[in-house]
Structure 1
Amino acid sequence: MGARTRTAPHLYRRVASCPGPGRCHHLSICWVAEECFMESEVISSCNLCGTDPVATIDAEHHLCQCTECGFIFDSPRPTFAEIQRFYSEEDQYDAWLAQEASRDTLWRRRLKRVLKYRQAGDLLDVGTGIGQFLSHAQRHFRVEGTEVSDNAISIAKSRYGFDIHQGQIEEIQFDKQFDVVTAFHVLEHVPDPSAFIARCRDLLKPGGILIIAIPNEIHSKVRQGVRAVLKVAGIGKFKNYGKHTLPKISLEGTLTEIHLSHFTQKTAAYLMKSQSLEIVDMALDPYYVSGGIGAVVHKVIYATARLFHMVFRHNLYDTMWLALQKPSVADSQKPG
């Protein structure tokens, strides 16, 4: 993956009300806030297939797309050092803590799905945040987690007693392989998706299961129309994620995030297959924690999207769930 690093304060415009990185809620990456991210890098080739050059499809929002495989990504984008600083801001996880009780439902729901594939063994949660998923998973697995944020690691220790590995998964050394590796809404944040998936695969035991949940960025006039109606109705919060122009509805408050990559079903499948992983399941990932009318509305949206997916095998939902399997020793020894 070609990348050039530069200082680029001109990428972002300052507005008087912007409080700075980690506290600005104008957009997920605040492209209206100059100096929130001073160090940027330019990506000159596709991370998935290596195509060079790539096409700029939205210069204003720094959005590029590979002309071969269709992968969509940000360029220029903040460097990893900037991203780590952003997620280590003291108040970055305030919204997570405020929603801790309601998020328990989300983590229990995800754990129940993981248990369909494996019921025990060693589990690694990559990008574990404050450790809430691990607190549930430890009832069934021997658990470990990784995280880049100093603040999240501190919270995981004080809240749940976990000693979380700090850093990027590609750089952390482990003394064993795992039966299950999970990465819930992490892949879209990492600088090198191919290296990330390759490392997750290598950390699996033969026949092990990798669970990935990511946003689903599809080009659908129907979906955009539904979003427009919901926006007019005041049901959803309409915003751009990661400086890109593929709009997304958020019913869950003002969490700020940095999305560097934007996957569709097609590009996600391409990435997984390129890393010799078998797709066991590709489904919807219900990602809602709100209560009251918001929960009812989101459940209706999810049920409708799930029915459409079952009939047409096309995901119109905001997120997707991938269950992937590393080849067993016997499978890897079969002639090609």
Structure 2
Amino acid sequence: MLNNYYVNAEHIKFRNDKIFSQTEKVRQKQIFAPRAKNVMAYVKKAKIHKNLAVDIGAGYGTFCVELMKYNYFNNIIAVEPSRDLANTCSTRGINTVVDIFEKTNIQNIDLITCFELIEHLYSPKKLLQKCVESLNPKGLLIITTPNIEGFDLKILGKKSNNILAPNHINYFNPQSLRILLENVGLRIVDIATPGKLDVDIVRQALLSKKTTLKYNEYLKFLLQNNENKIALNFQKFLMKNNLSSHMWAVAQKV
């Protein structure tokens, strides 16, 4: 049922036809170019083979396009279950497989990327087990997912725009994600929360009256302080201590 939802949901077609196409340049510059740069830093440090990279849940294909610019991998494949989004990937010159990754037979992969996906799945472990089966020895898996212990999610709780169904049904924190990845046989390279928006998200919630923080006046003072340096330093503190709501995990097949 869930797979069928992501294949046929009308809102996914709407995103492909309207939202993604109209916001492509901004998302490319602010999200996907930096994301590809970070991925390539891990790739080069690990010195993995250059044959094949696979992006699971490739969406509009923007990450694949950015990764292709590095001319590092001989082949890059987008795996996307939505036919509308998969067609967009194909028209952008990306080798595309229209299916969920668990049903594919792609082998000998050197890099698998999986951005903002595992929180959508009933069984993230099944996907990760398939990733391990499909990776070459020393191959990398790089994923992003919300950190349920992140600042804005903790503060806003059920009022957070991130807490929504049927899209997000599983949440992780750095420790639980580490356990999951190690349980499927991967070695942890890095788990970090490099998010930059926690403070802004809670500040906007205050301004819109979505939250009041009436029992935490000091935090309210910090967030409403006009000194940008204070907010910036607080966000850096969250990032450094794995307390941002945006989480990266990098793991390697041993």
Aligned-partner Cα distance in 2 for 1:266–1:298? 31
Question: Is the CA contact 2:128–2:181 (under 8 Å) kept in the aligned structure 1?
Answer: yes
Q: Pick the aligned partner of 2:163 from 238, 241, 264.
A: 241
What amino acid sits opposite 1:95 in the alignment? I
Q: Pick the aligned partner of 1:111 from 18, 32, 36.
A: 36
Describe the superposition over 1:104-124 as per-residue Cα deviations: whole angstroms up to 9, x where unpaired. Answer: 121111111111222444211
What amino acid sits opposite 2:246 in the alignment? T
Deviation at 1:269, TM superposition (A): 1.2
Which runs of no fewer than 5 residues in structure 1 stay unpaired? 1-77, 229-236, 244-256, 289-293, 328-336
Q: Pick the aligned partner of 1:318 from 231, 245, 252.
A: 245
The corresponding residue for 1:164 is 96
The corresponding residue for 2:22 is 98
Aligned-partner Cα distance in 2 for 1:166–1:324? 25
The corresponding residue for 1:271 is 180
Deviation at 1:101, TM superposition (A): 0.3
SS at match of 1:206: strand
Aligned-partner Cα distance in 2 for 1:144–1:299? 42
Structure (1 or 2) with the greater helix fraction = 2
Q: Pick the aligned partner of 2:64 from 131, 134, 140.
A: 134
Aligned-partner Cα distance in 2 for 1:97–1:147? 17
Question: Is the CA contact 2:195–2:239 (under 8 Å) kept in the aligned structure 1?
Answer: no
The corresponding residue for 1:147 is 80
Q: Give the alignment of 1:71-86 within 5 angstroms.
A: 79-86=2-9
Query: RMSD across aligned C-alpha pairs, in angstroms?
Result: 3.1
SS at match of 1:266: helix
Describe the superposition over 1:158-202 as per-residue Cα deviations: whole angstroms up to 9, x where unpaired. Answer: 2x122310111111112x311111001111112320110111112
Question: Is the CA contact 1:83–1:258 (under 8 Å) kept in the aligned structure 2?
Answer: no
Aligned-partner Cα distance in 2 for 1:108–1:285? 15
Q: Pick the aligned partner of 1:205 from 104, 117, 136.
A: 136
Instruction: Return closer, same or farther for 1:238/1:190 CA change in 2, 3 Å cut-off.
Output: closer
The corresponding residue for 1:260 is 169
Mean Cα deviation higher: 203-212 or 119-128: 119-128
SS at match of 2:95: coil
The corresponding residue for 1:123 is 53
Question: Is the CA contact 1:286–1:302 (under 8 Å) kept in the aligned structure 2?
Answer: no
Deviation at 1:267, TM superposition (A): 1.6
Aligned-partner Cα distance in 2 for 1:279–1:299? 33
Question: Is the CA contact 1:302–1:317 (under 8 Å) kept in the aligned structure 2?
Answer: no
SS at match of 2:13: coil
Structure (1 or 2) with the greater strand fraction = 1
Aligned-partner Cα distance in 2 for 1:133–1:180? 13
Question: Is the CA contact 2:150–2:246 (under 8 Å) kept in the aligned structure 1?
Answer: no
Question: Is the CA contact 2:6–2:82 (under 8 Å) kept in the aligned structure 1?
Answer: no
Aligned-partner Cα distance in 2 for 1:177–1:299? 47
Which runs of no fewer than 5 residues in structure 2 stay unpaired? 45-49, 198-203, 205-226
Q: Give the alignment of 1:281-320 within 5 angstroms.
A: 281-286=190-195, 304-310=234-240, 313=241, 315-320=242-247
Aligned-partner Cα distance in 2 for 1:287–1:87? 31
Deviation at 1:85, TM superposition (A): 1.9
TM-score (normalizing by structure 1): 0.57
Instruction: Return closer, same or farther for 1:81/1:96 CA change in 2, 3 Å cut-off.
Output: same
Describe the superposition over 1:276-307 as per-residue Cα deviations: whole angstroms up to 9, x where unpaired. Answer: 1111111124477xxxxx9xx99986763443
TM-score (normalizing by structure 2): 0.74
